[in-house]
Amino acid sequence: ETGVTQTPRHLVMGMTNKKSLKCEQHLGHNAMYWYKQSAKKPLELMFVYSLEERVENNSVPSRFSPECPNSSHLFLHLHTLQPEDSALYLCASSAETRNNSPLHFGNGTRLTVT
């Protein structure tokens, strides 16, 4: 079983749909992250949660709504997305938000907005 599990692996949705991405970590970590990976662009940090509290929100549009019900689970709720939101969404966790603590990534959800 991998340390960080993301579901679904692939998602196709229309601009009027509502869907959610799920992330679960089995590493006993206290911090969880959402990243967006688009073609030809560096990884973009979207949200950071530490001990279930959101500690960073990098000017992400409100059509993306994160939720962290406990330290093992992280969701990204999606609604009224745009085609430019198509990307690979990566979840990561770390032992803590101190920056000598490496990130452990899931395999991502490939999102296509039509």
Partner 1 sequence: AQSVTQLDSQVPVFEEAPVELRCNYSSSVSVYLFWYVQYPNQGLQLLLKYLSGSTLVKGINGFEAEFNKSQTSFHLRKPSVHISDTAEYFCAVSGTYGQNFVFGPGTRLSVLP
Interface with partner 1 (CB under 8 A), residue from 51, 56, 61, 114 = 56
108 binds partner 1 (CB under 8 A): yes
Site string for partner 1, 7-36 (x = CB under 8 A): ------------------------------
Q: Are 82 and 38 in contact (CB under 8 A)?
A: no
Q: CB neighbours (10 Å) of residue 113?
A: 19
Closest approach, Cβ 55 to partner 1, in A, equals 10
Beta strands in the chain (DSSP E): 4-7, 10-13, 18-25, 31-37, 44-50, 53-57, 64-70, 73-79, 87-94, 104-105, 109-113
User: Quick one: DSSP state of residue 62?
Assistant: T
Q: Which of 45, 65, 71, 75 binds partner 1 (CB under 8 A)?
A: 45
Toward partner 1, which CB reaches closer, 85 or 93?
Answer: 93
User: Rule CB under 8 A: which residues touch partner 1?
Assistant: 4, 6, 40-43, 45, 48, 56, 90, 92, 97-100, 102-108
